[in-house]
Chains A and B, each alone.
Chain A
């Protein structure tokens, strides 16, 4: 069954859109990522204009991350203070990211810079997550003691605050800095940044996987609200029919994801996310290496 998308100006199969929404929903329920890093490229490949894909995806993430956020909030798995600090850093970061993007595009090579940093980032994060989670699993099996998190010098910087939910007493500088850098990257790459934020909170801040997901969803919620309004206001590229269908497909997915999380241990979750990130990285590499079907790529402007 086909449906016409008025802003994208193409017709698309309803069930195809619903199933993409479903997959994104599972991801966001399980890992606290928006799923934009997966759905945006799929939508573009299926013929949705890139700008409309990005804009509508932002709107879709508003809904799906709110559902996930409320779920985690009810189970007291959101660190509001940490979320607020991450948000502050993220907003400043994405503002300077937009500026950097313009600077890079003037020099021409922006896309290549993006795709190489993307691959480098995803590859190292994914491999590290996989390695770490396998090691923890082994340790657990052999019954040796596991520390809650390693304390390093970055936790001892000034301006320390108690983060009750995360069971941390650390300086606010590292979370600010991390979210700033992710904000910059997210603005340049056109994604929410959840899939970088989640590993960063786990490994660099030492938060527990459960709280990380809830807190990340909170940050994603606010970032996606801002970017939806920006995309709608400046570019007119938000297709509500498209994002509505993605949301509808995500209903079941988000619940399924959250259900699984309750029954699976942290290191298994991290292992799964690690595998997904590595797959995405391999996909990006294959796009660079395999001969493309079309050498010329079109963008209808007006």
Chain B
């Protein structure tokens, strides 16, 4: 009994200690995004409470993917593919928002370690490559152009020094999977609290049915696709024949 009481005490103290750490409580207006055929992008409200003054930084990272990158180079006046490399764990989506511009936070190291900010995203592949950074910058540039990375950080508003909120903007270029939403509370260039939330992006409706059939029943899908194209072509021919006649 005594032993049990001691354990209980230790347990209680440890909880208390954990609680004494600075906290972030955060939630999203919706933790799932459904991609249907009419999907145009999504806006979610991300909000929460911090129990200490500081800067809040939120980053959204999409499922990490393998990508193949081709590099073009000018040889004898012609632009030719000079090299192909494969990179792994490249975020398919990236968005960041903060209370102040990232450069004004004076937390270069912390941001780098936590991969916050477009220039701090890290991924694997082609480690032996000379001038690897030029490849990495090229990938980021192309991702921005494709609407997958957001070059302009969003703004987080703080009210009453404790409540924060921001709008997370998702373009239509979403891959399905789990998106990580990481919230950091920074003070004097250090992380004093962190929290991770999740958003599930999945296909629904017709989009999901088509996607599932294409992947699970690919032969039938191919035959159906041809069949529909056939019906379509035939109907069009019949209609115009009657109209012209």
In the assembled complex, the Cα of A17 lies from the Cα of B90 at a distance in Å of 30
Most buried by B among A11, A60, A64, A236: A11
Nearest Cβ on chain A to B136's Cβ, whole angstroms: 9
Most buried by A among B68, B72, B146, B214: B214
List B204-245 residues whose CB lies under 8 Å from chain A: 206-208, 210-211, 214-215, 218-219, 221-226, 228-230, 232-234, 236-237, 240-241
Chain A residues within 8 Å of B218, by CB: 232-234, 236
Q: Do residues A299 and B68 form an inter-chain contact, with CB atoms below 8 A?
A: yes
In the assembled complex, the Cα of A67 lies from the Cα of B225 at a distance in Å of 16
From B207, which residue of chain A is reached at the shortest CB distance? A6
List A225-244 residues whose CB lies under 8 Å from chain B: 225, 228-234, 236, 238-241, 243-244
Is the CB of A96 closer than 8 A to any CB of chain B? no
List A81-114 residues whose CB lies under 8 Å from chain B: 111-112
Most buried by A among B142, B176, B218, B234: B218
Chain A residues within 8 Å of B219, by CB: 229, 232-233
Known: A233-B222, A296-B138. A70 touches B70 (CB 8 A): no
Q: Do residues A298 and B69 form an inter-chain contact, with CB atoms below 8 A?
A: yes
Known: A4-B39, A6-B37, A299-B68. A67 touches B233 (CB 8 A): yes
> How many of chain A's residues have a CB under 8 angstroms from any CB in B?
56
In the assembled complex, the Cα of A250 lies from the Cα of B46 at a distance in Å of 44
Nearest Cβ on chain B to A222's Cβ, whole angstroms: 11
Q: Do residues A240 and B228 form an inter-chain contact, with CB atoms below 8 A?
A: yes
Q: Do residues A300 and B67 form an inter-chain contact, with CB atoms below 8 A?
A: yes
> How many of chain B's residues have a CB under 8 angstroms from any CB in A?
63
Q: Which of B7-15, B75-83, B99-107, B159-167 lines the interface with chain A?
A: B75-83
Q: Do residues A10 and B173 form an inter-chain contact, with CB atoms below 8 A?
A: yes
Q: Do residues A4 and B221 form an inter-chain contact, with CB atoms below 8 A?
A: no
From A229, which residue of chain B is reached at the shortest CB distance? B222
Q: Do residues B172 and A4 form an inter-chain contact, with CB atoms below 8 A?
A: yes
List B169-207 residues whose CB lies under 8 Å from chain A: 172-176, 203, 206-207
Known: A3-B37, A66-B237. A247 touches B172 (CB 8 A): no
Q: Do residues B210 and A296 form an inter-chain contact, with CB atoms below 8 A?
A: no
Instruction: Point out the residue from A47, A59, A289, A301 that lies within 8 Å of B229, measured CB to CB.
Output: A59
Q: Do residues B236 and A254 form an inter-chain contact, with CB atoms below 8 A?
A: yes
Across the A-B interface, give the 8 residue pairs with the lowest CB-CB distance, nearest first. Answer: A232-B222, A296-B138, A66-B233, A11-B172, A63-B229, A6-B207, A62-B229, A63-B233
- A interface residues (Cβ-Cβ under 8 A, vs B): 2-4, 6-7, 9-11, 47, 59-60, 62-67, 70-71, 74, 111-112, 225, 228-234, 236, 238-241, 243-244, 247, 251, 254-255, 287-292, 294-302
Beyond the given A67-B234, A236-B218, please list 16 additional residue pairs across the A-B interface where CB-CB is below 8 A: A2-B38, A4-B35, A6-B35, A6-B211, A63-B236, A66-B234, A288-B80, A291-B79, A294-B142, A294-B145, A296-B72, A297-B70, A298-B69, A300-B65, A300-B175, A301-B66
